Amino acid sequence: MCGIVGYCGQKRAANILLEGLKRLEYRGYDSAGICVGTGTDLKCVKKKGKIRVLKGIVPQDMPGTFGIGHTRWATHGEVNDINAHPHLDDSGKIAIVHNGIIENYLSLKEMLISEGYEFKTETDSEVIAHLLVDRYDGDLEKAVRETVLLLKGTFGIVAVHADEPGKMVGARNGSPLVLGIGDGEMFLASDVTAMMAYTKQVVYIEDGEVVSVDCDGFRTSDLKDREIAKQVDHIGWELEEIEKDGFTHFMEKEIHEQPESISRAIRGRLNLDTATGHLGGLNLSIKELHAIERVKIIAIGTSYYASMLGAYLMETVARIPAMAEVASEVRYKNPIVEMNTLYFVVSQSGETADTLYAMRELQRKGATVLGVCNVVGSTIARESDGGVYIHSGPEIAVASTKAFTSQVTVFYLFTLLMARMRDMSLDRGLEIAKALQNVPDQIRHIFSMGNLIRDLAIKYSWVENFLFLGRGIQYPVALEGALKLKEISYIHAEGFSSAEIKHGPIALINEKTPSVFLVPDDALRDKVISNLKEVKARGGKVIALMV
């Protein structure tokens, strides 16, 4: 959740860092700070709370043309000014910002304390500043390389040294870091949004790489100091796409973008003559697709629920055994890689650590893993063996919305492709293809009922507990609905298969716990309606979404 931005160039660094942090605000944070090099020393300002609070205490004429900034989401140590990043070493010469978690920080801290270093914060990140000064002999890049070799865990780091003005050194392992190449100025950030106002030329830093940057250029190397040639990529998004565009917040904007984002996910991928899906990026021949005997889909959060829905489709429509699994579980369970199994990893950001590490573990064991990602050039997109971009455009709100419907759309296309290669008739294929094309208009129709939905939300705004109930294809949708309500409204909500409520959850039903029922237009309709009646019979209020 934390954000990093670094700058070196000719402009006033403080302004650019604050602006970059503002762009990273969407990721959530509880404190923020910047550290700017003046040419002789480093000036650091950090504060609990919002960036506007930080902005208020940063001197307007703060000198310095290079520096680093950070938005912190507390993991180690409480939310306060001291624990906020950047962290300085005792001498105040070195400053660092860090995203991720240093798993061996306690043993490193003990070692550093025994050597006489004093710790000011409760964070895991502070060890990095002390290790750097311990290793520093006039070469920051070398010190970063030596420090990184001692760290276990995940990190994206950027460091500056007062005695090396105009220089920043970054390194990564598991937390994203991207270099931006401007005109006489350079950026390092955890996310391209922090630099998009200045440049669209970027270089993605990989795990195990160190990047040393000044305003004339950059050098990337591995941990053995072997130089690595990097490709410069161009960001395909426009700045306007990461602005709110008249909406109150990004989530509202992104919900309203769905007709267009779904159209983009479908564009060029639906062949109405043959009633099939066309997904060029899979990198699999028809023969290889035929050889697939089962599919496993790995993801977390909203992407996991989209994966459950995808697995349901593949199994019921294309008749391929398929299941979805939570990446954080797959990663640590020594997963079995089965022959003739196709693996998908699904991630909007393409950077989620559990999903990425699960993918690497499966690949290490010989699996073919395809990515379903939104962010072009993200780590999962780059390292997967092929895949499909969902083309949703930037999803700034941390809680996923439009990515979910586009991920599901891509799974419909894949299912159609597989089903039409097997035994689905042309007529049935056409029915599905046309239904898919109609989805954007159907969503527009739902937006036309905005007032009705708002009235319902107001009517139930006093409620503290909600149930979301669905069956079949709508079971994962119910789970996603409950997740969204929890994460956004801080209202307790649980999702269940409506068939399962009689096995326990029914005990929760009362007039203060409404149930949102998803009622399908298929063979399960009557069964869901009968579950709904059971709830009503116990005095439970019901909001039914009828298809």
- Which residues would be at the binding site for ligand BG6 (CB under 6 A)? 300-303, 347-349, 352, 355, 398-400, 487
Residue nearest to ligand BG6 (CB): 301
What is the rounded CA–CA span in Å between residue 194 and residue 488?
24
What is the rounded CA–CA span in Å between residue 258 and residue 401?
8
Q: Which residue, 241 or 487, is less far from ligand BG6 as judged by CB?
A: 487
Q: Which residue, 26 or 414, is less far from ligand BG6 as judged by CB?
A: 26
CB of 278 to ligand BG6, least distance (A): 24
Let me know: does 189 contact 5? Beta carbons within 8 Å: yes
CB of 399 to ligand BG6, least distance (A): 5
CB of 288 to ligand BG6, least distance (A): 26
CB of 75 to ligand BG6, least distance (A): 14
CA 434 from chain center: how many Å? 31
CB of 184 to ligand BG6, least distance (A): 34
Task: Give the position of tokens 């790489």.
Answer: 209
Q: Which residue, 123 or 302, is less far from ligand BG6 as judged by CB?
A: 302
CB of 487 to ligand BG6, least distance (A): 6
Q: Which residue, 160 or 297, is less far from ligand BG6 as judged by CB?
A: 297
What is the rounded CA–CA span in Å between residue 390 and residue 318?
21
CB of 156 to ligand BG6, least distance (A): 16
What is the rounded CA–CA span in Å between residue 280 and residue 436?
19
Residue 17's closest CA among 35, 29, 31, 43? Answer: 35
Task: Give the position of tokens 């009235």.
Answer: 455
CB of 378 to ligand BG6, least distance (A): 9
Q: Which residue, 218 or 468, is less far from ligand BG6 as judged by CB?
A: 468
φ, ψ of residue 254 in degrees (nearest 5): -70, -35
Q: DSSP readout, 113-167?
A: HHTT-----S-STHHHHHHHHHH-SS-HHHHHHHHHTT--EEEEEEEEETTSTT-
CA 306 from chain center: how many Å? 14
Q: Which residue, 164 or 207, is less far from ligand BG6 as judged by CB?
A: 207
The two beta strands, 209-214 and 42-48, are: unpaired
Q: Which residue, 220 or 355, is less far from ligand BG6 as judged by CB?
A: 355
7: helix, coil or strand? strand
| Burial class, 518, CB count within 10 angstroms (exposed 0-12 / middle 13-18 / buried 19+) | buried
Q: Which residue, 399 or 543, is less far from ligand BG6 as judged by CB?
A: 399
Q: Which residue, 129 or 359, is less far from ligand BG6 as judged by CB?
A: 359
Q: Which residue, 328 or 498, is less far from ligand BG6 as judged by CB?
A: 328
Q: Which residue, 193 or 400, is less far from ligand BG6 as judged by CB?
A: 400
CB of 81 to ligand BG6, least distance (A): 26
Q: Which residue, 328 or 531, is less far from ligand BG6 as judged by CB?
A: 328
Q: Which amino acid type is present at position 68?
A: I
Residue 32's closest CA among 13, 52, 16? Answer: 52
Task: Give the position of tokens 């919002």.
Answer: 50
CB of 289 to ligand BG6, least distance (A): 25
CB of 139 to ligand BG6, least distance (A): 36
86 preceded by a cis bond (ω within 30 of 0): yes
What is the rounded CA–CA span in Å between residue 151 and residue 133?
15
CA 113 from chain center: how many Å? 36
CB of 114 to ligand BG6, least distance (A): 38
Residue 280's closest CA among 378, 387, 383? Answer: 387
99: helix, coil or strand? strand
Q: Which residues contact 449 (CB under 8 A, 6 or more apart)?
A: none
Other beta carbons within 10 angstroms of residue 235's beta carbon come to 19
Residues in the chain: 547
